[in-house]
Structure 1
Amino acid sequence: MALKSYTAALTPPQATRLCALLREEGFEMPPRPYTLGFGQKGHLTVAVYEKGPKVVIQGRDTEDFVKFRLEPEILGEAKLGYEEELSPDQFQPHFGIDESGKGDFFGPLVISGAYVDRGIARALREAGVTDSKRIGSDARIRELASVIRGQPGAVHEVIIVGPETYNRLVVKFGNVNRLLAWGHARVLENLLAKRPDCPRALSDQFAKPEVLKRALLEKGRTIQFDTATKAESDPAVAAASILAREGLIDWMDRTGREIGCRLPRGASAEVKRVARELVAGRGAEVLNRLAKTHFRTAHEVAPTHFAAPPPRSTHWGGGKADS
């Protein structure tokens, strides 16, 4: 099956060169928000996003454009089609585990895991499964999540830690990294109950390895568990990141409809504005049900109800790796 979607990180000079290439090749370049350039030509769209920067290529001619223009002229390296030779471990049977929502004031923490073998990994690559942070469209996240769940032999697990539970567990564990370690260990245990013959698991490195090892449960201690920076380049971890992101956006959309208020993501000025309005209209307690109250935002919008967080050096809520 020909590749119909491709995402790659760019350096700023590469992004500039790619936009110039699109113009030289006669791509239509209509203005699009959040992009440095957006090109359309035949069965191909190329979006060069400001954030990253990164490029997202979609359409029937994606594979040819990547192989014959993007890689040789912009990236300066040939990877497409050589993934198994360059990264053979990514195509061996293993679990990938990732999370979503850690940096969002509103909403849950979602931790997910997915299993791949050679066939599943190849299929996910061809479908365009990549790190969810590189995908800006909720519709595309849901589309890829459906592809992941539909793979023959697919095994996956999603744990949604809603705000009320999250706030209680952050206090219990003492910091977010220990909570994340517990969640990763729980997902791994559930995956192994479904696929006990899997020999290895991989997750992004969010804390020192011993923090995660201490959290592993009975089954999780029996297999090789690796952590790595930028682990989302692995197809299993990328799949897990998409399933986790789907869980987050579904919760945010559903809860927003229930309360009649759109809950923005992240921790921006818009997030703070919505939080102030919610507190003014419903009382500070509403944040316990909707938000991660150890974020400084909670104290800023309801200072008499939520204490100021400790200094970042204590690793409370997204600081440096736990020791």
Structure 2
Amino acid sequence: MEERALHVRAEALGSDDATRDRVEGERAPRRVEGHRPIGVELARPQARVEFVRLPLIHRTRSHALRCAPGSLAVLSEGGTGCEDHGIVCAPEPPPSRETPALTQKTLVVQVPTSRHAALRARLAAGDFEFRKVPHAAFSVKGGGVVATLYRSGKLVVQGPDPELFLARWTDFDAPEQAAPAERGGLTKITGEMIGSDETGKGDFFGPLVVAAVRLDGKVAEELVEWGVTDSKALSDTRALKLGVLLRAKLAHSVQRLDPEQYNERYPKYRGLNPLLADMHADAIRALAKPGVRVLVDQFANARVMRSALRGVDVKLEQAHRAERNVAVAAASVIARQEFLLALQELSEEYGVGLLKGAGSPTDRAGAEFVRLHGWDALGRVAKLHFKNTEKVKRLAGLER
């Protein structure tokens, strides 16, 4: 069959950070299987020509090539072929029976500066190729994964199974990804603002904690990438680790009332809400700038919080379920981290597993504490105005 020339114009859409391997000498063009055809415009609709994408070609480059019908346009790395762009024609291969390429995933974790050297040494012991990447401390490639640690501390892992890489070669957990609807539901931040939230008010054991953070829109986008969401949607382990990262990243303020101080202050207020409002106000004052927007997860009548912040030049907003805003979500994570650490400290100090919440297991833990340390010591670990106090007394056999 007479072959007629076909003019094809194709545009390569490789990534901006793609790099070209530099190998001396000529290299034969390589066929690349499993990549998706891109940017092909056929001058003759009936002709059958495919274009195979290689990641080393930059996004803005266009090439013109001529191929016969039934041929495959292939990019080579050696710079040979049409117009020295490494484009050649090859006979169309038979249908491939190989397994399709695995879906690529990307995970991002934050690595403290103090651990950069240890991570590099650990990866150097593996079968990885170290590469130079702009703005990166280092980048490695191997085992189907590319991992780049940027100087900012962001470790970006790309491959079909980045979770496996993190589990094997690092001490970091893969970030828990919020469901798409949750991530999409986070309120967008356009300017600097403060978010404030609390934890521990429904827990018999442990402190009452309020945390506030200050951030802007750019940082907020990073936090969404990290998987920051309402702390109630996170496991304890994830909240503890994420809290460390957020403290290092954000301007923040934490107000903590341990049980002894809580039991001393609580009777001086007309209920919990005014006390909680004062703690929010103290946390916000520590971060406030004139006119800055402040969002608080509403826990009482709006006037209670307004009264506590009277005289502070901020734009106060209150909303139920304010954790949908990433600033409040970040504050909730830090507050919960602080609470969990405090509860753990108390458990270790007194040799009793003090539990979260205010249910029956909490009552049993309280009774065990009283049997070991006496009734008068309960106020060191628990909020005594809770109804659990009487239940603990009965379980400990102190009420006849």
Superposition TM-score, scaled by structure 1 size:
0.65
Name the residue aligned to 2:338. 247
Aligned counterpart in structure 2 of residue 125 of structure 1, from 195, 199, 224 = 224
Find the aligned partners of 1:188 and 1:43 in 2 and give their Cα distance: 38
* 8 Å Cα contact 1:4/1:128 also seen in 2: no
1:302 Cα deviation from its structure 2 partner: 2.5
* 8 Å Cα contact 1:94/1:198 also seen in 2: no
Find the aligned partners of 2:283 and 2:211 in 1 and give their Cα distance: 7
AA matched with 1:157: S
Task: Tell me the secondary structure at the aligned position of residue 197 of structure 2.
Answer: strand
1:199 Cα deviation from its structure 2 partner: 1.2
AA matched with 1:133: K
* 1:275-294 alignment, distance < 5 Å: 275-294=366-385
Deviations 1:34-83, CA, capped at 9 Å, x for gaps = xxxxxxx94579xxxxxxxxxxxx959x98xx8xxx75xxx6xx964x96
1:148 aligns with 2:241: no
1:257 aligns with 2:342: no
Deviations 1:146-200, CA, capped at 9 Å, x for gaps = 221232xx210001101111112210012011111111111111112xxx24611
1:264 Cα deviation from its structure 2 partner: 0.7
Find the aligned partners of 2:211 and 2:272 in 1 and give their Cα distance: 16
* 1:136-175 alignment, distance < 5 Å: 136-138=235-237, 140-151=238-249, 154-175=250-271
1:106 aligns with 2:205: yes
Task: Tell me the secondary structure at the aligned position of residue 105 of structure 1.
Answer: coil
Find the aligned partners of 2:307 and 2:174 in 1 and give their Cα distance: 45
> Percentage identity across aligned positions?
33
Find the aligned partners of 1:163 and 1:260 in 2 and give their Cα distance: 17
Task: Tell me the secondary structure at the aligned position of residue 385 of structure 2.
Answer: coil
1:124 Cα deviation from its structure 2 partner: 0.7
Q: Which has the higher helix share?
A: 1
Deviations 1:102-129, CA, capped at 9 Å, x for gaps = 1110000010000110111011111111
Q: Between Structure 1 and Structure 2, how many residues are aligned?
A: 233
AA matched with 1:149: R
* 8 Å Cα contact 1:141/1:246 also seen in 2: yes
* 8 Å Cα contact 1:106/1:291 also seen in 2: yes
Q: CA RMSD in A?
A: 2.8
Find the aligned partners of 1:137 and 1:251 in 2 and give their Cα distance: 13
Find the aligned partners of 2:196 and 2:234 in 1 and give their Cα distance: 18
Q: Which has the higher strand share?
A: 2
Give the 3 Å change call, closer, same or farther, for CA 179–79 of structure 1 in structure 2: closer
Find the aligned partners of 2:366 and 2:183 in 1 and give their Cα distance: 45
Structure possessing the higher radius of gyration over alpha carbons: 2
Name the residue aligned to 2:320. 229
* 8 Å Cα contact 2:163/2:174 also seen in 1: yes
Aligned counterpart in structure 2 of residue 213 of structure 1, from 299, 302, 306 = 306
* 8 Å Cα contact 1:93/1:198 also seen in 2: no
Superposition TM-score, scaled by structure 2 size:
0.53
Runs of 4+ in 1 over 4 A off after TM superposition: 1-5, 41-45
1:217 Cα deviation from its structure 2 partner: 4.8
Question: Unpaired runs of 5+ in structure 1?
Answer: 6-40, 46-57, 304-323
Task: Tell me the secondary structure at the aligned position of residue 213 of structure 1.
Answer: helix
Find the aligned partners of 2:372 and 2:248 in 1 and give their Cα distance: 43
1:285 Cα deviation from its structure 2 partner: 1.4
Task: Tell me the secondary structure at the aligned position of residue 174 of structure 1.
Answer: coil
